[in-house]
Structure 1
Amino acid sequence: MRDEAIRKVVIVGGGTAGWMTAAGISRVVGELPGLEIELVESEEIGTVGVGEATIPQICLYNAMLGFDEAEFVRETHATYKLGIEFVDWTRIGHRYVHPFGFYGIDMGGIQFHHHWLKARMLGDRTPLDAYSLSCVAGQAGKFAHPRPDQPNSPLSKIGYAFQFDAALYARYLRKLAERWGVKRTEGRIVDVVKDGTSGHVTAVVLADGRRVEGELFVDSSGFRGLLIDGAMGAGFEDWSSWLPCDRALAVPCESSGDRLPITRATARPAGWQWRIPLQHRTGNGYVYSSAHVSDDEAAATLLANLDGAPLAEPRPLRFKAGHRREAWKGNVVSLGLAGGFLEPLESTSIHLVQSGIARLMTLWPTKAFDPVEIARFNAETAQEYVDIRDFLILHYTATERDDTPFWDYCRTLTPPEGLAYKLDMFRRNGRIFREHEELFTETSWLSVMAGQGIEPQGYHPVADLFPDAETLDRLRHIREVVAQTAAAMPEHEGFLRRIGCDLTPLRRAS
């Protein structure tokens, strides 16, 4: 082993981010000779633990760790997820689904949605949701795994993710990480020791006087950013003018028995409410702007819109939208909430941890901590935050709502340059371009732009190579195939029971 090889990694903070990092590092580089991985966490300090919905990329992370999917679903009380339903975002009474997967099939060498746009101009107002198996199946409570062996079926390209108990997920990852050699140290950090010459962190000091020394430190300490901000002063890029929600209340409630494989986001007067059905309970929360509603009013709104009796008191969270200006500074890498926060509207919080781990693995350092590689990590991280930010802003600014001061503020936002360009391209002739391998695909952008009522002025000219009647007939046939395929899929709850899940709901203690 080279003398400059990293021999000791210290992860500060547990929870989902910390244990995802511990499991990921131990799985990928844990067998490097002499490498030690130690995670420091304190039971005195709670974790946020509300990131319960994911996107399909989580399947790649789980596969990397070698998960048995059925065991993982059972252990985390997970349900499957085919998309996100948005209620009252465009206008009150309107809803649409952002699906995982695709719409229809491309025809004539152009994207399917251009044929759908042509049909709309011919008077066919069928919603885009009808052409997505994920939308139709999800709303019908159906689920099945993709079938790549059936290339002509909509099932061949269906995508899925999970909704799970974040605390149970962290516990599951901890069990694996410790099996793979990660050492867990219980203790509250009271001081950080830095090298006077390099400025690098050399150790953290615990309340009982113990020192935990390391060479590479991963900060997963949550919003406070104990190392990346407190010790390294990485700075923060504040996006609250574009994303004004700065607080959330989270509360679990008794399950109503409606375990649709869909996360729901319902617009409220000063923000939005999430609903995440798990096997044993339903997760809920209200993300809101404190400038537009009081905490008490927000709590009343949340509690008045639950499926069942609350299982706890609403838990408050305060945050600011944005990210660290340097996600990696010196020998400290920030992951999870320590690195930044973008509200969970599109279930990206866990993905940002996952992509940060992958980026760190790609740029795994030596003790030299090459500044060129660190700059690459920071540039890619910042760009990913920008891409997600713009997608989130789209939900707020592309709305007809002007019924409250909050929605009037959002509707009249001046969008960032990248989002403004995407909106202009789509409004002209329905063009959608995915830039630099950004997280959200053309399907995702189409889903939200169309779902929020943006009407292009035209469509790709090649769509006119099909006669009008043929276009309408082809679309009708696609709708029928999607509906028939969804009808033949297993019930989601039956699928869960077949893999051994216990769907007994939690009940509030009397």
Structure 2
Amino acid sequence: MAAAALSRFLPATSRVTLVESDDIGTVGVGEATIPQIRLFNSSLGVEEGAFLATTQGTIKLGIEFVGWTGPDSRYTHAFGAIGRGLGLLPFHHYWLRQQTGSLWDYSVAAAAAKAGRFAPDPGRPELPTGLTWAYQFDAGLYAGLLRGQAEARRVTRVEGEVATVTRDPLSGDVTALVLNDGRQIAGDFFIDCSGFRGLLVGEAMGVPFDDWSRWLPCDRALAVPSEAIRPILPLTRATARTAGWQWRIPLRHRTGNGLVFCSAYLNEDAATAELLRGLDAPALAEPRLLRFTTGRRTDAWAGNCVALGLASGFLEPLESTSLHLVQSGIARLLQFWPGERIAPADRDAFNRETAREWASIRDFLVLHYHANARAEPFWQACRAVPLPDQLAAKLDLFRAHGRIVREGDELFTEVGWLQVMLGQGVLPASYHPLADAPSAEDLASFLDAQRRHVSAVVGRMPSHEQFLRTETRDLS
């Protein structure tokens, strides 16, 4: 992703070298995304139909959360809008006043996902649908697509493993990478994409790691592919289990599955058995174990080196933010791209913005663990953990009168927070008093019109699988 983006946006006088080794495996579980991936693809000129065909991709309209507040509980964190606001207030205050039907009856994405339907539909200017979407795809195939783009734009790919890192004795900046066969790759600026190891920023430059496992205690993941399931629903599923949660990501040629769990409450053998029991189709391989610690490097940019992806930190894939954090890191790097000399002010601003983004996403994930109603010891312990201050304040604000304040440019919108809080049983004592302005009859008519609008939009959509066949018919 970094090489493709840099080759697209840096001046032609810049030279980009990508060092990687086919002998080093990838994590390869980042198959579900959020809608911002469409902006990244568009910026690189990647057309949607070709992308879906090349990566065996499917559409994602949200994440279905199963079992988080009890065995039969179920809700969706759907993308896009839910209802339309009225006057000064967002929609949910009017719904809270009357609570006619489910909140998700007013979401085109949630209704389409439930019906297994999809097609782009902006609606009319005066009556938009609020529909947006992301993708589920084979991450390895996506990497191959981007590699082809990068090499076509004159990125030099060097096959080899980095053995040591050479640094300037005075400034501490990285000057070259020494490969295991003795070759040296010199450069002015380095991007560390070496995964959990953090070869440059962590091992060579010694940037500390801020451990967040007190809030997000899961430290293991098992990943396994299974046979494709039919019909292919346009959503990712996250099911709460004994000491963690299980993902299901439907692709066209297979299904991605995994179990994120806490080893203090569940051993690896029991976790493997739980994962395999929860599959909806036969496994295609043996489960693969990943060990991790949730948290981030205190600085993503140190000296003349920026860490991206797992080299910069790890937040579990509960809300499919892993690839987005790579994407936002690249966008931020381009925003602060250095000139001939690196300005400390630019580097500091980059690190401040990175820290804010990671903390806001962390708090959103912590909400899922905190607001649970399960009986297992792991989940009881999660409820008892003291919350980060900003998350505690956000929950207090919502519980009072249903108010949600988005802090700056944090990733998750008010509608995202609303769905997870209500879906997991965080209920406000009341609603905004201005929502009492419409009469009961006018409010009922307002809500009914919005439900009918959602039904009409979804009703004119083809099935998700029909859309995929049509969209990629001439490209597969």
Normalised TM-score (structure 1):
0.91
Query: Among residues 451, 460, 465, which one is paired with 2:437 in the alignment?
Result: 465
2:89 aligned counterpart, secondary structure:
coil
Of 159, 162, 184, 1:186 maps to 159
Question: Counterpart of 1:14?
Answer: none
Partner of 1:316, secondary structure, is strand
Please name the residue that 1:507 is paired with: none
Contact 1:215 1:367 in 2 (8 A): no
Determine whether 1:45 maps to 2:24. Answer: yes
**Matching residue of 1:139:** 114
Q: 2:57 aligns with which of 63, 78, 86?
A: 78
Which residue matches 1:294? Answer: 267
RMSD (Å) for aligned C-alpha atoms:
1.4
| Residue among 297, 320, 323 paired with 2:296 | 323
Amino acid at match of 2:112: A
Aligned equivalents of 1:417, 1:90: Cα separation in 2: 23
Alignment partner of 1:286: what SS? strand
Counterparts of 2:474 and 2:68 in 1: how far apart (Å)?
A: 34
**Alignment of structure 1 residues 426-505 onto 2, 5 Å:** 426-500=398-472
User: Where does residue 388 of structure 1 map in the other structure?
Assistant: 361
Within the candidate set 16, 23, 43, 2:4 is matched to 23
1:99-138 to 2 correspondences below 5 Å: 99-120=78-99, 124=100, 126-138=101-113
Q: How does 1:142-291 map to 2 (within 5 A)?
A: 142-147=117-122, 150-155=124-129, 157-291=130-264
Shift of 1:397: 0.5
Distance in 2, Cα, partners of 1:405 & 1:330: 44
What 5-or-longer segments of structure 1 have no aligned partner?
1-19, 505-510
* In 1, Cα distance between equivalents of 2:181 and 2:466: 51
Cα distance, 1:415 vs structure 2: 1.0
Deviations 1:419-456 (A, max 9, x none): 01110110000000111111111110111111111111
Q: How many residues align?
A: 476
3-state SS, counterpart of residue 345 of structure 1 = helix
What code does the residue aligned with 1:32 have?
A
Matched to 1:96, the amino acid is Y
Determine if the alignment matches structure 1 residue 337 to structure 2 residue 343. Answer: no
Contact 1:322 1:340 in 2 (8 A): yes
Q: How many Å apart are 1:154 and its aligned residue?
A: 4.7
**C-alpha displacement of 1:308:** 1.0
Q: Match of 2:448, SS? A: helix
Deviation of the 1:216 alpha carbon: 0.4
Give secondary structure in 2 for the equivalent of 1:196: coil
Determine if contact 1:83/1:98 at 8 Å carries over to the other structure: yes
Please, which of 74, 96, 116 is the counterpart of residue 75 of structure 2?
96
Distance 2:394 2:440 in 1: 28
Per the TM alignment, residue 160 of structure 1 is displaced from its structure 2 partner at its CA by: 0.5
Q: Per-residue CA shift, 1:243-297, capped at 9, x if unaligned?
A: 0011100011001213111011000110000000011111000001011100111
AA in 1 matched with 2:116: G
Q: Could you tell me how far 1:188 is from its partner in structure 2?
A: 1.1
- Displacement of 1:364 in angstroms is 0.5
Distance 2:396 2:362 in 1: 18
* Greater mean deviation of Cα atoms: 217-226 or 194-203: 194-203
Q: 2: distance between equivalents of 1:502 and 1:64? A: 23
Supply the distance in 1 between the matched residues of 2:274 and 2:30 (Cα, whole angstroms).
Answer: 21
Maintained 8 Å contact 1:228/1:333: yes
* Aligned-partner Cα distance in 2 for 1:375–1:109: 37
**Residues 268 and 216 of structure 1: CA distance in aligned 2, closer, same or farther (over 3 Å):** same
Q: 1:416 and 2:396 equivalent?
A: no
Q: Structure 2: how far apart are the matches of 1:277 and 1:407? A: 27
The SS at the match of 2:395 is helix
Q: Conserved in 1, the CA contact under 8 Å of 2:394 and 2:405? A: yes
Report deviation, 1:474.
Answer: 2.3
Output one character per residue of 1:358-402: Cα deviation in whole Å (capped at 9) or x when no partner.
01101111342111110111110011000000000011101222x
Does structure 1 retain, via aligned residues, the 8 Å contact 2:116–2:463?
A: yes
State the alpha-carbon separation in 1 of the partners of residues 121 and 287 from structure 2. Answer: 37
CA distance in 1, matches of 2:299, 2:446: 51
After the TM superposition, list the runs of 4 or more consecutive aligned residues in structure 1 that deviate by more than 6 angstroms.
none
Deviations along 1:19-53, one digit per CA (max 9) or x if unpaired, are x0000111010x332x1111111112101111001
- The aligned amino acid for 2:78 is P
Deviation at 1:467, TM superposition (A): 1.7
8 Å CA contact retained: 1:279, 1:503: no
Identity across matched positions, percent: 54
Instruction: Give the letter aligned to residue 381 of structure 2.
Output: Y
8 Å Cα contact 1:327-1:378 kept in structure 2: yes
Shift of residue 499 of structure 1?
1.9
Counterparts of 1:404 and 1:384, CA distance in 2: 31
Q: For 1:102, what is the secondary structure of its paired residue?
A: coil
Greater mean deviation of Cα atoms: 346-355 or 493-502: 493-502
Superposition deviation, residue 409 in structure 1: 0.8
Partners of 1:98 and 1:69 in 2: CA distance: 23
Cα 1:503–1:90 shift into 2, 3 Å: farther
Deviation at 1:152, TM superposition (A): 3.9
CA contact (8 A) 2:53 2:475 kept: no
User: Does structure 2 conserve the Cα–Cα contact (< 8 Å) formed by 1:279 and 1:502?
Assistant: no
Q: TM (normalized to structure 2)? A: 0.98
* Residue identity matched to 1:236: F
Q: Contact 1:77/1:501 (CA < 8 Å) preserved in 2?
A: no
Q: Is the partner of 1:97 in helix, strand or coil?
A: strand
Query: In structure 1, what residue type is equivalent to 2:360?
Result: D
Q: Which runs of 5+ in 2 are unaligned?
A: none
